[in-house]
A and B are shown apart, each in its own frame.
Chain A
């Protein structure tokens, strides 16, 4: 079981220079650290949540059904950001469009945009920073 686990763990050393051949381990000085996916994808862990995408309304930006969305609640939702919003008591993932009128736009022509200027039960929860699709 231990060896299984070790096989699965991937530690990728990050080199910032080419290794000179013929010298005794000159690379040692250049190995900086392993690559950490959390560090790359998560800026603010206290405000970051994972959500699971359901359906194909954002298929054109590559968010497939069952993708894991990395959502940061501390980032300001500006025009053009992909956001998680709460609309009429449920969560939805759409692109935020502020001009010419504020609305949530799907990335799939099957789904019409949702106007949000007159909605009472509406709130932007956070900004989607990345989607993880598994194949």
Chain B
């Protein structure tokens, strides 16, 4: 038996945790550069706001109606997500963190000692009390059905946010109400083809012959069909495997055409990526950089390219990574284009405890480098003004606009919520 615990409009709900005045108020969260709506509360939905609405189009009418908007505050969202996952681990030892706001729980054994509906309620209430976040819980014999249960908990308020689909009659009843495109694993292409053969609901899909599905679609969809019938095919994923690459990329706040500014941005991303690499206790051997223009500005000439350099030896030293990122960038940069986005990718990772020394990369250099980076990371962790490399720029005119970001309530001493 599985449970899916899923947060209700996660980003928007996070913005409310330390703002009790926003309870029952419309809240939207904007994408990087405050471009468009990426999350919205149900009150905002009632005002007619939709996902992906461009902010500049809705800003004045939305705020006039009393709506609140926030730039994305990933520090806050990540912290609240971690708290939810820790809380879930206390309630059920076997969990799979599926995304920032969703986790699967393996309930094997739980049904022997507790009513599953009660367990779901307990999950929901504990998370609400400990973290202030509203969640819904879907319980079912397979992961795909637990997604269906969660859908039911979302759209039918009478469920109070908890749906237990352990009984086949209830599965059938709900499957009949769920449109087929809402089924986990059914993408847009498959949805279209299913509609062509008259499959409209999840129940329709559960009833097709699996052999037919295997021959006419694919083996993955056949698994989905079996899962919808209550036959577990997909287990809980174990520990997430160690990262194989690290990407840091951002859209600029305005178009950039000169190499100097691009170098500054790429160096900044390189420094962030290097810090991430050190947090994972890894060193990397390859540094790639990509740049591109804005494909939506059809009046502009378009260009995109990427370049990679191989380091002498695996490193996690910000200086090496910046230097090589700049080298890659210079190799691919062409003047006369309006660039809108750049990014850096680190790959081919090695454990930082294992180091092969090189004639050109002596041991002393590595030891010194590790000490220096360690010190920088320590200072930057303390929430003091950060230490950064001059290459990262000082004014950073290209950097993302996040003009209406909420404070980092839980991750910065300077931003703690005030209480009188």
Which residues of A come within 8 Å of B, CB atoms? 1-2, 5, 44-47, 49-55, 57, 68-69, 73-74, 84, 86, 89-93, 121, 123, 125
Contact = CB atoms under 8 A, between A and B. Distances in A.
Given A47-B131, A73-B130, A74-B130, A91 B417 contact: yes
B50 to A, nearest CB: 27
Interface in B1-58: 18, 20-21, 23
Contacts of B20: 86, 89-91, 121, 123
Given A5-B375, A90-B21, A46 B418 contact: no
Contacts of B379: 1
Contacts of B131: 46-47, 73
B215 interface: no
A93 B419 CA distance: 6
B208 interface: no
A5 B83 CA distance: 29
A86 B420 CA distance: 11
A131 B413 CA distance: 15
B416 A68 contact: yes
B419 A2 contact: no
A46 B417 CA distance: 17
Nearest to A86: B20
A49 B130 CA distance: 10
B418 A47 contact: no
A100 B18 CA distance: 31
A91 B419 contact: yes
Contact of B87 (A46, A57, A86): A46
A108 B413 CA distance: 27
Q: Determine the main DSSP class of B at the interface with A.
A: helix
Contacts of B18: 91
Interface string B81-116: 011101100100000000000000000000000000
B193 interface: no
Contact of A84 (B21, B87, B419): B419
A79 to B, nearest CB: 19
B20 to A, nearest CB: 4
B299 interface: no
A55 B129 CA distance: 27
Contact of A125 (B82, B90, B132, B420): B132
Nearest to B379: A1
13 contacts: A44-B130, A46-B83, A47-B87, A47-B131, A51-B416, A52-B416, A69-B419, A84-B419, A90-B21, A91-B18, A91-B20, A91-B417, A121-B23
Given A89-B20, A91-B418, A92-B419, 18 more contacts: A45-B86, A46-B87, A46-B131, A47-B131, A51-B418, A52-B418, A53-B419, A68-B416, A73-B131, A74-B126, A74-B129, A74-B130, A89-B21, A90-B420, A91-B20, A93-B420, A123-B20, A125-B132
Contacts of A69: 419
Interface residues on B, range: 20 to 34
Contacts of B126: 74
A52 B419 contact: yes
A62 B300 CA distance: 64
A51 B419 contact: yes
A89 B23 contact: yes
Interface of B: 18, 20-21, 23, 82-84, 86-87, 90, 126, 129-132, 371, 375, 378-379, 410, 413, 416-420
Contacts of B90: 46
Contacts of B419: 51-54, 69, 84, 91-93
Contacts of B82: 46
Contacts of B375: 1-2, 5
Given A5-B375, A46-B87, A52 B417 contact: yes
A73 B418 contact: no
A5 B378 contact: yes
Given A46-B131, A91-B20, A125-B132, A55 B416 contact: no
Nearest 10 pairs of A and B residues by beta carbon:
A89-B21, A47-B130, A86-B20, A46-B86, A52-B416, A91-B419, A54-B418, A46-B83, A55-B420, A51-B419
A91 B20 CA distance: 7
Contacts of A57: 420
A51 B83 CA distance: 16
Contacts of A90: 20-21, 420
A133 to B, nearest CB: 14
B420 A46 contact: no
A129 B413 CA distance: 18
Nearest to A69: B419
Nearest to A91: B419
A57 B375 CA distance: 41
A1 B378 CA distance: 11
Contacts of B21: 89-90
B19 to A, nearest CB: 8
A78 to B, nearest CB: 15
A81 B327 CA distance: 61
Contacts of A45: 86
Q: Which of B18, B20, B21, B87 has the most CB of A within 10 A?
A: B20
